[in-house]
């Protein structure tokens, strides 16, 4: 890996950390647990389109680990990890088809991130009752995914790294 690539990766990791912190200051999950803006997905989405799948994987996993150790706990690590893995797998698959816009990829990633978290919650709680929250999370994930996807599309078009 070149020094320039390491610097880019470090910069994107730092940006993801800052956006995660900013996101933690906005209390959206008052009515439905798990509702978030998805700001850090902007960085992962950008990395996926500008640096490739390997960089997006590394960035996503490093971000999850650092954010969980810094701002979260063991439970948040598992929820975030499940969401990040499922989200990135789906985003990579959709991007690879060439049939989806950045916004479409982002929406699918957001909804699948929520699905990953619901699946972990069902396993941890040994109950399917938490699936009741999923429709609200699909709605909030779709809205956040569109916003992040539109912003990500602009960044992908305008920033060459």
Question: What is the token pair recorded at 153?
Answer: 């599309």
Domain count for the chain, please give it.
Answer: 1
Q: CATH number of the domain at 16, please.
A: 1.10.1760.20
State which residues form the domain around 33: 3-158
Distance, in Å, from the CA atom of 71 to the CA atom of 88, rounded to the nearest integer, reads 22
- Given a cut of 90, whether residue 110 has pLDDT beyond it is yes
- Given a cut of 90, whether residue 1 has pLDDT beyond it is no
- Given a cut of 80, whether residue 30 has pLDDT beyond it is no
Q: What is the arithmetic mean of pLDDT over 48-74?
A: 92
Number of Cβ within a 10 Å radius of residue 27: 7
pTM reported for the whole predicted model: 0.91
Confidence category of residue 23, pLDDT binned at 50, 70, 90: confident
- Given a cut of 80, whether residue 101 has pLDDT beyond it is yes
Structure confidence at residue 83 (pLDDT): 95
Q: Rounded to the nearest 10 degrees, what angle do helices 39-50 and 53-71 cross at? A: 160
Mean pLDDT of the chain: 92
Q: What is the arithmetic mean of pLDDT over 125-151?
A: 94
Question: What is the token pair recorded at 46?
Answer: 């950008």
């Amino acid at each position: 890996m070149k020094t320039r690539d390491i610097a880019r990766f470090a910069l994107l990791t730092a940006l993801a950390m800052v956006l995660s912190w900013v996101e933690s200051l906005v209390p959206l999950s008052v009515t439905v647990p798990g509702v978030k803006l998805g700001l850090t997905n902007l960085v992962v989405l950008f990395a996926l389109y500008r640096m490739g799948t390997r960089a997006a994987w590394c960035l996503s996993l490093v971000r999850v680990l650092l954010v969980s150790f810094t701002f979260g706990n063991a439970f948040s690590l598992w929820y975030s990890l499940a969401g990040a893995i499922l989200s990135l797998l789906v985003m990579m698959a959709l991007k690879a088809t060439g049939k989806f816009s950045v916004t479409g990829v982002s929406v699918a990633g957001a909804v699948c991130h929520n699905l990953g978290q619901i699946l972990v919650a069902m396993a941890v709680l040994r109950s399917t009752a938490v699936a009741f929250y999923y429709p609200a999370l699909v709605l909030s994930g779709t809205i956040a995914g569109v916003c992040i996807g539109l912003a990500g599309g602009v960044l992908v078009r305008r920033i060459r790294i």
